[in-house]
Structure 1
Amino acid sequence: MNELLNVVLSNEAAPAYWGKADVSFDEQTATIHLKSAMPLRQIQMAARKLRSQGIAAVALTGDGWDIDRQWSFYQGFVTAKGGFQVVWCGDAALTAELYQRAKSADFARQLINETPENLYPVKLASDTAAWLSALAPDKVSYRIISGDELLQQQWIGIHAVGRGSERHPAMLELDYNPFDTDAPVSVALVGKGITFDSGGYSLKSSEGMLGMKADMGGAATVAAALGLAIQKGLNKRVKLYLCCAENLVSGRAYKLGDILTYKNGTTVEVVNTDAEGRLVLADGLQAASESGARFIIDAATLTGAAVMAVSSQYNAIFSPQPSVLKLTQQKAAEVAENVWPLPLDPWHQDACPSAYADTANSRAVKGGGPGGASNAAGFLWRFVSPQADWLHIDLAAAFEDNASAMWAAGATTHGMLTIAQLLDAE
């Protein structure tokens, strides 16, 4: 066990001999000197500084460590390589919730940071099902549909995107039901689970492809959020749909110009095989709609356009219902996560026209053209039941290609707490 460095908070400036530093040291204690109007951001950046100096084990001590401040420190301190320890402070209820958050975030982080060789579609589905089942053995049931069985069930998009790989695409259908009866489904979660995205025949550059093991970040995020809510005693029936595939090039891979006919009858021309996330999510959203869920939430690392619009410090949110956007902003603020709404109007459903099908999966221009994130959301809207409230989260803040002042390289799990809060909302 590493020797623990105590970390305390102070509202006083650092001693003069530390100059303008916001972290000072005294024997086995590091002091974070809060001098910013944004203390959570400063605390997370201070945690990155400590970790970057080789400090691996800390105990948060003293006054001022509420749950948001401790969680911000943890998010700055963690690294993809592991080998770290954070000892929480506070009463039993506070430390228990922090442990639950860390357990769920670590599950998502391990999945997202895993190599694409080790994490393939069926494994993503089975590992998620096993983890959630272990949290609530008597309340979770599931099935995994894979390979050509997807065609038999008419899950056309997942099959098309994944058929180029030797490793079968899959859909996980998981049911969390805490009741003894066949209760109505309150919420359905849908996650994009592209375990590696080469871009298909719309091939990415090596630089653009390097981080594409994280293209299943949506699946990991919604699963981790459900796991956190279960640990906190979730008393709603929730269904989870993970849309899992590898988007690779081969003689069997889907091609530009192909037309997919979905279960709801919508025809889609493929004009960009690198706009595959929306093709698999279309299946998941239809399955979620069939469940009768009153609220459908999907999450995906879907577009570079969202990152350009809101940066990697926010997740972009979309909904045709203003009340859903307002609720999401409220719940994100409760757990100190950042979301920002982007436009979604009915005409966005027709923003990717096709001469051969009801719609194309993108526009045949670099990056999908102006408004790419909203156009993608408009495409997804075609597959959502009009009877359900719907939230689409474009996870711009889910992954860092390189270490920054806020984050280590790799998965951030930013968005997990927001979704867990939404699951717990009345």
Structure 2
Amino acid sequence: MKYDFDKVIQRQGTSSLKWDYAGERFGNKDLLPLWVADMDFESPEPVVDAVKKRASHGIYGYTGRSMSCHESIINWMKKRHGWGIKMDWLTYTPGVVPALSIAILAFTNPGDKIIVQTPVYYPFFSVIKNNGRQILDNELKLVDGKYTMDFDDLEEKIDSSVKMLILCSPHNPVGRVWSKEELKRLAKICVEKDIIIISDEIHSDIIFKGSRHIPIAALSEEIADRTITCIAPSKTFNIAGLSASVAIISNKGLKKNFDNIVEGLGIASGNVFGITAMEAAYTHGEEWLSELLNYLEDNMNYVKEYIDENIPEIKVDKVEGTYLLWLNCKGLNLSQDELKKFMYGTAGVALNDGTTFGKSGEGYMRMNIGCPRVYLVEGLKRIETAVRGVRK
């Protein structure tokens, strides 16, 4: 391997949300942080080199996006996902969550209902509520250890006040990579009910063997005509702090409305280093990503085997995508508050509270495996030791 993902890099003292603010958030300064979704790996060498080269220039004025930047995205989507997109479909935003908020402002009115499929990435809730819209929960079903969409529930709940669905694809936190059949059925409902689809595909490059990500807008022109697809290099290449993402919108009318909000908010210009890193990542990052996926899959297998063998009170299934595992901790027989105190206090491991993803997250915690394996070894040992105390 060209890249060393076992390399431990000191992140304390860099204002890292994951490391420097975990103690403040979870009430224990000695926590091992396996929570927020950024990775503890250096970004690809071509990305680091591009940022260094740009920084060495010494002038960081207003920066546009070159044709090569646009083409890097177009080529990446075609090569990785088989989706042919065009330059005039692209609108740049400072992040996927801001893009969700922009879409809500552009395509819904206060009081409208927006569908989410819980348990789901918790900022979905805040962008809906904070913009004065209502959440409609179409809870996922857990069938034989696998989460699926509940289409019957969805169709039953839809009424004339439902204007939008926010799709998490691949799904965070349960790790599903939706099949073509699932996406087609979901899209069919949205077409019939005249519902706009906002597809958060930020994890679309983190896909494991045996699965394939399909952009929902790539299914047909009819579906693309009502879809805003949100992507970013941030999760894939560990550059979330550079605030660079893209909304892909083929419908000219939808794009005009979306762009009007972007312009109105004054957020179209972008960050010079985000622009630089995005182009470098999508142009030169594929070799690094290939090695990363192998490492992440080995991490997933390690965690699964360790928990199965040593902590049977906790259940975990392998995921199809993302570097996040959804731990079923119900076997510990603890309330959610007790579970949090147990993980943060007794075990000394920072994991995401399952209930922040919706009420169906009761009894669950989310673990980030995007780190050198030594951290997972230490974290799992801490949890196992704590569980032994509960067994007594």
> What TM-score range do you get, normalising by the shorter chain?
under 0.3
Structure showing greater Rg? 1
Between Structure 1 and Structure 2, the one with more strand by share is 1
Q: TM-score with structure 2 length normalisation?
A: 0.27
* Structure with the higher fraction of residues in helix conformation: 2
